[in-house]
Amino acid sequence: MAAGDTYINKSLPRVDGESKTLGQTKYITDIEIEGMAHAYPVCASVPFGKVKSVNYSKLSEDPDFITLVSASDIPGQNQVGVIIQDQPLFADETVRFVGDVIALVVAETHRSAVRLAKLVEVEYEKQEPLFSISSSQNSSSNFIHETNIACSHRVQKGDIDKGFAEADYIMEEQFSTPFQEHYYLEPQGCIAISESDGSFTIRGSLQCIYYVQKAVARVMGVEASLVRVIQSPTGGAFGGKEDIPSEICARAVLAAKICNRPIKVIYEREDDFQLTSKRHPFEMKYKIGVMNNGKILAAKVELNENAGAYATLSSVVSYRSSIQALGPYVIPNVEVESTSWYTNLPPTGAFRGFGSPQATFGHERMMSIVADKLAIDPIDFRLTNIIEPGDETITGHTLNHSVGIKETILEAQYKSNWTAEKQNKESERYLTGVGVASSIYGNCLGAAGWHLDGAGVNIQINRDGSIGVAYGLIEMGQGADTVITQMVAEALSVSPARVHIRPTDTASIPDSGPSVASRNVVMTGNAIQDAASKINPVVLDAAAKMMNCASSDILIEEDLIKNLVTGETVVFDKLTEFMHMNKYQVVAHGWWHVPELSFDHASGIGEAYFTYSYATHIAKVKIDKLTGLVQVEKIWAAHDVGKAMNPAGIEGQIEGGTLQGLGWALTENFQLDNGHVTSTNLSTYLVPTAMDIPDVETLIVESPDPEGPWGAKGVGEPAIIPTAAAIANAVSNATGRHFNKLPIIPESVLRELSNPKGV
Amino acid sequence: MAAGDTYINKSLPRVDGESKTLGQTKYITDIEIEGMAHAYPVCASVPFGKVKSVNYSKLSEDPDFITLVSASDIPGQNQVGVIIQDQPLFADETVRFVGDVIALVVAETHRSAVRLAKLVEVEYEKQEPLFSISSSQNSSSNFIHETNIACSHRVQKGDIDKGFAEADYIMEEQFSTPFQEHYYLEPQGCIAISESDGSFTIRGSLQCIYYVQKAVARVMGVEASLVRVIQSPTGGAFGGKEDIPSEICARAVLAAKICNRPIKVIYEREDDFQLTSKRHPFEMKYKIGVMNNGKILAAKVELNENAGAYATLSSVVSYRSSIQALGPYVIPNVEVESTSWYTNLPPTGAFRGFGSPQATFGHERMMSIVADKLAIDPIDFRLTNIIEPGDETITGHTLNHSVGIKETILEAQYKSNWTAEKQNKESERYLTGVGVASSIYGNCLGAAGWHLDGAGVNIQINRDGSIGVAYGLIEMGQGADTVITQMVAEALSVSPARVHIRPTDTASIPDSGPSVASRNVVMTGNAIQDAASKINPVVLDAAAKMMNCASSDILIEEDLIKNLVTGETVVFDKLTEFMHMNKYQVVAHGWWHVPELSFDHASGIGEAYFTYSYATHIAKVKIDKLTGLVQVEKIWAAHDVGKAMNPAGIEGQIEGGTLQGLGWALTENFQLDNGHVTSTNLSTYLVPTAMDIPDVETLIVESPDPEGPWGAKGVGEPAIIPTAAAIANAVSNATGRHFNKLPIIPESVLRELSNPKGV
């Protein structure tokens, strides 16, 4: 009601900070229910084959063994594919990767369930597995599903042949990026209860309560309203808890129904590595046609993704990477093909950035290579082609508002002292260099998921002035509860201390889609404004009645109700008491849906997303010529967030995203052997630690979006997107070699240093 | 959307019937939580005194003993008075009845908690207890609180002296009614959890989740939104779980906080008798001035209630009994005084009818006595004075709608073959007789509780066409979930099978007041209509879009969407799928508040309630002259319910209410000895069983109320109100003696039979 920012654009401390810091938060593993049994999956030990027999005779004598649940127990459908119906809950006929779940052991304890699951003997008729994209592409008879193509997307704009024909230079390069494991601190887990009224209650560490609800309803053959999903405090997710919990919960519910006992499933870390989704490895070909003056005329991009055994979210990862394949640049003639290929590896799916870090690695390495070739400063080259208000994206979407990419480049350039830093300094032992990378990120689900792109909030004001809030998206460690507390306080002009967030629960809010794609602030913020637009007139009317004046005489500001004529003020909870005594309704449901998007899926032309976030990272690296170790000394991370809701929270997201990007770029070397993940713990899979974090200087650029709440756009995923490309550009700059393949581990650095420059 | 009744006015089977019948429903005692401790109250063993010392040294060595919680542990206020602030959570200074809770023992098991609570040694400085209304009235220095008057109400209309002066006859009589124990099948109980974020979660067998929320917030010194109360399936309540759970839950929450463990409290039956509220005993004086033609000119009524040690809900019981003190009759000159007196007995509070059965016993015995005196048929005498549309109640409220009392009398008279039956038949051993009683019942809370008289519902339509419903009032065995399922189905024109009710939860719906006063159908039904008024236009709009026609061409009827022009039909869940894919919002909050009431509390004149339910019971009894046993052979129970939502459910309510009234009238002989309840089990407190139920013929009279949903009014409490008076009138008719005191046990019958007739 009051003008200006009172509670947003402020660094409110985390509302969940104290209980998490003190170790009081109860994660799913901390919850014990009387009578609970424990379940654990029996997994395929071969990457591809037919199941010939399943023998669990070794289990039957064990005092802790309860039962074995498998496909034949399913009352509904044996299907948990989230977009494409290619994934059985139990792989009872064909196993397609090491870790495909064949059955579920139920036992008295977790340890026994884990132990007994390993004693189930499965006989296979083995098939020849396909592990690489090329083997999948080149197979003419060996198909993992009906075809080896999981999905494909294209963008086709202008006249690509004419563009290349008119270009002064044409350059082609290939890039590749590896798997990445989410390594959320809390492994996958849930508790399922079969209720006496035929309904099911599920608690779990998860991102998408409505996906779980839908999957369980399908597997159990019941209506969605009989499936209640309540999110537990979730210790990290990063996309890894988008679709995977659906299968874990569906199996647990089935076991709970059969045993009539609560069932808990918690994955051991090594199995979490083997069984759950990863970031898609990409193989990319970029061909760019450019004029002498640095203007890009044409670009042809081929993206190929290793989807693993099941499509899961590949189609939307592929969609997003195709839309963003050429970054925040204006290019008149474009052809992008993005294809996901089935292989006999763990399924790849949602991971922070959702294909964007991969595509950004491609286009930003390419931009720097072309700039070098043209002998143009890489920042100047980017600015020559940068998208500005009034320009069109590669999908032909004219952007008129909130296009802050240029400001992020200029801000990072200025703060990093770019011109001085870009002069490489070489000492006897060390090389230094800087690299820049910019990115574009479509907010929310875009045209590919538009029908899911609504979200809700429920705001209930109590007699004592306290305010209960439920929303349909989730807190997974990113700070959503804190920002939502601020936005509710701002929208109602009351102190954030009054606002209390309830756990996310399918019973509280209708299907608000998945908690992904940096949707939370934008969707929930707008829903809060919708709810406030219903509550505030009622509150004003009540205030006027209480103060015996016209509602136009009332200002509600900073938790106070002010009569502007008499100067009288009363605190908010006196008003809520008055409202309670005088028949005022004090609850509202708020809803927001992304505006309609005009998009042609065949050509990939149109409004792919309703708005975009932008970022530029500049990385400064120091390379040890003796060991090949790359040390990132500093990252300047400039982000156009539309409008900052909680600057400290944004800094946290950017520092975390940057570090996760650094790990993907340099240290996290995901290894497989015949489909078995061999880097299944922190001694072999080197997730960067707090000690590895470089000095990250967050530069917040505000370019308010008219559709964003208070102008805000998403920042959770953009935080990671340009980092790896900036680091690779810095390493290339320092060494004079092209680092076009991630991760850049010391071995690769030493190998490249032994090659001549510029190859 | 469709006209006519499709899913209401139908006897839908109970939606909770199967799980209750099969024993699958989990009551609070069935729920075990890992790490849970158990608590039990330490109770005063004297009726009145100061606490000198509390010694729990006998407990400290017990391996099961955890801790003793008492007043000094309370972070907030030591106060749980629901209306008057006279009731400490822990009676740490003064105990006012046997059972006043001094402390709470926490132990590892329920049995140990019960055992250890008895080992706490309390020293008292005893005070002279007051047990009867007269001792409380006559005490000039011995006060239980600051005064011995808990509360009082009056109604004063016309000129009472002039009325009596003009009357042909004046008659005076005194009546008295006893305690009644609710004897819900499930004793009081709850589980409290202190959550890691500083909030509390409470599950319990209870009627009023918002009362518990408020009480816990006050005791713990936290905001209401930090207190989440979820109702467990509740095995009967009858008013006995209106305010009592507030204290039980507040103590459990305090113990949960101190011990950092979940705490369960379940009362043993004998303690449930001793500690919890009862029906108020009434002492009543009626003076009636009447003309030769049977017209009543004046009435003076004095009601005195034994409130027990604390006021609890006495003030609203007293209010209701004063308003209804003269039944459904037109009387121009009236004076009613109703006063509640503190005594050193268990507090009396809410009990089905809420003072109405007592006042009805008074006015209906009086009506029959006057009719006998005037030698007018008791039904004719009632019809002479009956209230009809356009008439005024004794509070001066002109009733224009839904005044169905005359129809209930005529219907019962006709069906019972009254004229024939009223001729007493005497055999050597048996006497027979009939009695009639009529009653008026103000719906919902009335002017005394108007500010609490709003209630809400939340309706959420899922993509698959299933519908989740939450409401703020509760199912306590009366069938609310079934009727609400029907009303939602009717309001949305969809099959009841789609509708699923969620447990009542303070987090789902804002403060909807208490689940009392037969509010549920009226309040929730209206709230459902409010929600439907928001949902239906959206659904119609979507249907028109889906069928590519005007919304005026659409009819939604019996789960089908019909295009009236083309004849095309699609089932509802196709529409919800379409809505999900096309940005339609599918949730609505509904709210209804009782209309404004104009009422003057000083004079008791005005709109006491917004509408009234009416009932007439005719009882036929057979009396064994040898044993004094009264057998009720049949009851004709005619009820004006406005509009029947579920006739089978109404029959169930009426049969249950009638039997509960029969128990109060004849068999339930509540006994105390120096403040100790001595009739604490079914061998001494004779609750009638299924074998005792007379033939009850339910006669549903429909007189639709314009404010009621589909015209409905409440029937849960009216079911019990006239029964005891009708039975007493029948016994008086059979014997020719005045039975003015309940219960009419065989001893009293034999004593009266030994007296001459008509005294």
Enter the ipTM.
0.82
For CA atoms A477, A483, A486, A487, give the dihedral sign: negative
B151: which strand partners? B340
| Nearest-CA distance A507 → chain B (Å) | 7
| Closest CA–CA distance from residue A555 to any residue of chain B (Å) | 25
Q: What is the pLDDT of residue A2?
A: 45
Mean pLDDT of A296-300: 98
Dist CA A242 CA A514 (whole Å): 7
Question: Is there a contact between B197 and A16 if contact means CB atoms under 8 Å apart?
Answer: yes
Chain B CB contacts of A199 below 8 Å: 500
CB B553 within 8 A of CB B560: no
- Per-residue confidence (pLDDT) for residue B690, from 0 to 100: 84
Structure tokens at A62: 């064990």
Q: Which residues of A touch B596 (CB under 8 A)?
A: 583
E-strand ranges in A135-239 read 149-157, 169-177, 189-194, 200-204, 227-231
- Edge to edge, the sheet with strand A296-308 lists A149-157, A333-342, A296-308, A282-290, A169-177
- Nearest-angstrom CA–CA distance, B468 and B461: 6
Distance between CA atoms of A637 and A484, rounded to whole angstroms?
24
Chain A residue with minimal CA distance to B511?
A: A462
User: Per-residue pLDDT for A140 more than 80?
Assistant: yes
Alpha-helix runs per DSSP H in B221-355: 244-259, 269-275, 314-323
Q: Which amino acid is at B481?
A: D
Inter-chain CB proximity B451 and A583 less than 8 Å = yes
Q: Is the pLDDT of residue A188 over 70?
A: yes
Q: Among B197, B225, B467, whose Cβ lies nearest the Cβ of A467? A: B225
When CB atoms are compared, the residue of B451, B502, B580 closest to A507 is B502
**Could you tell me the pLDDT band of residue A758, with boundaries at 50, 70 and 90?**
low
A35 close to B (CB below 8 A)? yes
In a mutational test of the B interface, the residue from A32, A225, A502 whose CB has the highest number of chain B CBs within 10 Å is: A225
Cα–Cα distance measured from residue A630 to residue A620, given in angstroms and rounded to the nearest whole number: 10
Say if the Cβ atoms of A587 and B591 lie within 8 Å.
Answer: yes
Q: Which of A581, A444, A636 is closest to A522 using CA atoms?
A: A444
- Omega within 30 of 0 (cis) for the link into A743: yes
Q: Which tens digits make up the pLDDT trace of B311-348?
A: 999 999 999 999 999 999 999 999 999 999 999 999 99
**Å between B407 CA and nearest CA of chain A:** 34
Cβ contact, residue pair B32, A35, below 8 Å: yes
Mean pLDDT score, A289-297: 97
Cβ of A502 within 8 Å of Cβ of B35? The answer is no
What are phi and psi for residue A170, nearest 5 degrees?
-125, 130
First CA to last CA across chain A, in angstroms? 61
Order of strands, sheet of B227-231, starting from the edge strand that comes earlier in the sequence = B65-69, B101-107, B37-43, B263-266, B189-194, B200-204, B227-231
Does the CB of B683 have a partner CB in chain A at under 8 Å? Answer: no
Give the gap in angstroms from C-alpha B442 to the nearest C-alpha of chain A.
Answer: 19
Predicted pLDDT at A477: 94
Please tell me which residue of chain B has the smallest CA distance to A503. B507
pLDDT of residue A3: 54
Give the gap in angstroms from C-alpha B293 to the nearest C-alpha of chain A: 46
User: Is a pLDDT exceeding 60 seen at residue A759?
Assistant: no
Average pLDDT over residues A60-86: 97
The average confidence (pLDDT) of chain A is 96
Minimum CA–CA partner of A449 in chain B? B581
Peptide bond into B743 cis (omega under 30): yes
Residue A644, pLDDT above cutoff 60: yes
Nearest to A33 among B34, B458, B470 (CB): B34
Helices B520-547 and B480-492, axial angle in degrees (round to 10): 30
Say how many Å lie between the first and final Cα of chain B, rounded.
61
Interfacial A residues in 422-481 facing B (CB < 8 Å): 451, 454, 456, 458, 460-468, 470
Any chain A CB within 8 A of the CB of B139? no
Contact list in A for residue B527 (CB cut-off 8 A) is none
Instruction: Please compute Rg for chain B using Cα positions.
Output: 27
Please answer whether residues A249 and A192 qualify as being in contact, where contact means their C-beta atoms are separated by less than 8 angstroms: yes
Q: Are strands B499-501 and B467-471 parallel, antiparallel or unpaired?
A: parallel
Minimum Cα–Cα distance from A501: chain B residue: B225
| Cα B654 to Cα B664: distance, rounded to the nearest angstrom | 15
- Residue to test with chain B: of A212, A218, A223, most B Cβ within 10 A: A223
Bridge pairing between strands B630-640 and B695-701: parallel
How are beta strands A430-442 and A189-194 bridged, if at all? unpaired
Contact B454 A585 (CB under 8 A): yes
Residues 568-607 of B with CB under 8 A from A: 580-583, 585-589, 591, 593, 596
Q: Min CA distance, B465 vs chain A (Å)?
A: 8
Give CA separation, B697 vs B423, B618, B619, B690, B692, in Å: 21, 10, 10, 16, 15
Q: Which chain A residues are closer than 8 Å to B451 by Cβ?
A: 580-583
Q: A741: which 2 tokens?
A: 């393949």
Nearest to B352 by CA among B448, B242, B267: B242
Pairing of strands B430-442, B454-461: unpaired
Q: Are A280 and A742 in contact (CB under 8 A)?
A: no
Cα gap B749→B751, rounded to integer Å: 5
A36 in contact with B, Cβ within 8 Å: yes
Q: What is the pLDDT of residue A1?
A: 45
| B223 to A462: CB separation less than 8 angstroms, yes or no | yes
Angle, CA of B316, B729 and B741, to the nearest 5°: 60
Q: Which three-class secondary structure state does DSSP give residue A15?
A: coil
Query: Averaged in consecutive runs of 10 residues, what is the pLDDT profile of chain B (759 residues)?
Result: 78 95 94 94 98 96 97 98 96 97 98 98 97 96 96 97 98 98 97 94 97 97 95 96 98 98 97 97 98 97 98 96 98 98 97 98 98 97 98 97 97 96 85 97 96 95 94 96 98 97 93 94 97 96 96 94 95 94 88 96 97 98 97 97 97 97 97 96 92 94 97 96 98 96 97 82
Look at residues B257, B265, B259 and name the one whose alpha carbon lies nearest to residue B201: B257
**Chain B residues 195-224 with CB within 8 Å of chain A:** 195-199, 214, 217, 223-224
Contact B525, B9 (CB under 8 A): no
B183-212 b/e with 16+ CB inside 10 Å = b? bbebbbbbbbbbbbbebbbbbbbbbbbbbb
Closest-CA distance, A151 to chain B, in angstroms, reads: 21
B34 touches chain A (CB under 8 A): yes
The interface residues of chain B toward chain A in range 225-284, judged by CB-CB distance below 8 A, are: 225-226, 228
Percentage with pLDDT > 70 across chain A? 99
